[in-house]
A and B are shown apart, each in its own frame.
Chain A
Amino acid sequence: GAGVSQTPSNKVTEKGKYVELRCDPISGHTALYWYRQSLGQGPEFLIYFQGTGAADDSGLPNDRFFAVRPEGSVSTLKIQRTERGDSAMYLCASSLGSGGPYEQYFGPGTRLTVT
C-alpha cells in the first residue's frame, strides 16, 4: 500500500516568509509525528498527534511553529516568519497508534531552505 507522503519535496523561501509543509500518513494510522533534521544531525522530535489533537508539542522550538491535523489524517506544519536557522529536512512519520509496539513509518521528507 501507499506509504507516508510529504509535499513539497523541496521548498525554498525567503527569510520572513510563511511556509506550509504537508504530510499524508498511511491510511488508518492514527498517530502522526513531525521531526526536524538539521544537516549532520539526527532527527529531533517536534510534535505528535493522536487523532486530531496534538498529544505532545514539547518539541516545537518557538511560537512561529504550529501544526494542525483537523480531520485526523493529513497534517500541515506551518512556520511563520521563517529564519535561516529553520533550514532543515522536515520528516513526518505515522504509526497505527502511540506507545506500545507501534513502529513509526517515515515519509521522504521536505527539505526547507530559507535564504
Chain B
Amino acid sequence: ELKVEQNPLFLSMQEGKNYTIYCNYSTTSDRLYWYRQDPGKSLESLFVLLSNGAVKQEGRLMASLDTKARLSTLHITAAVHDLSATYFCAVESGNTPLVFGKGTRLSVIA
C-alpha cells in the first residue's frame, strides 16, 4: 500500500528565511505532485516531478525528487507572507490513484 508522509505538519517561518518541507513515500512512484491550498479553497498545482533528479523552480519555491530515496523536497527561499498556505505532496504509482500526504500548514510571519 502506497503511503505518503510529509513533515513538518506545521511550520511557522519568519519572512526572509529559508526552509524545506519533506515528502517521503513508501513504494516506487511514477509521478509526484506538489499542490498549494488556501483556506477553504481547492488545490492549485505547483509542480509535477516525473523522474529521478528532477528539479523545478517557480519563484521562491523549488521542488526536487530523489526516487531512490523515495523523497521529494519543497524548498522555500526568502519566505514572504503570500506563501502562507497548506502544501500537499501527492504520489501516483502505476494505476493506483493519487495518494496525498497530510499537508504542511505554512505560516509566514513578519
Contact = CB atoms under 8 A, between A and B. Distances in A.
Interface stretch (B13-21, B74-82, B94-102): B94-102
Interface residues on B, range: 20 to 34
A43 interface: yes
Bin chain A's interface residue count.
20 to 34
A106 B42 contact: yes
B43 A106 contact: yes
B31 interface: yes
Interface string A40-64: 1111110010000000100100000
A109 B42 contact: yes
Interface of A: 33, 35, 40-45, 48, 56, 59, 91, 98-99, 101, 103-109, 111
Interface of B: 4, 31, 33, 35, 40-43, 45, 48, 50, 88, 90, 94-95, 97-103
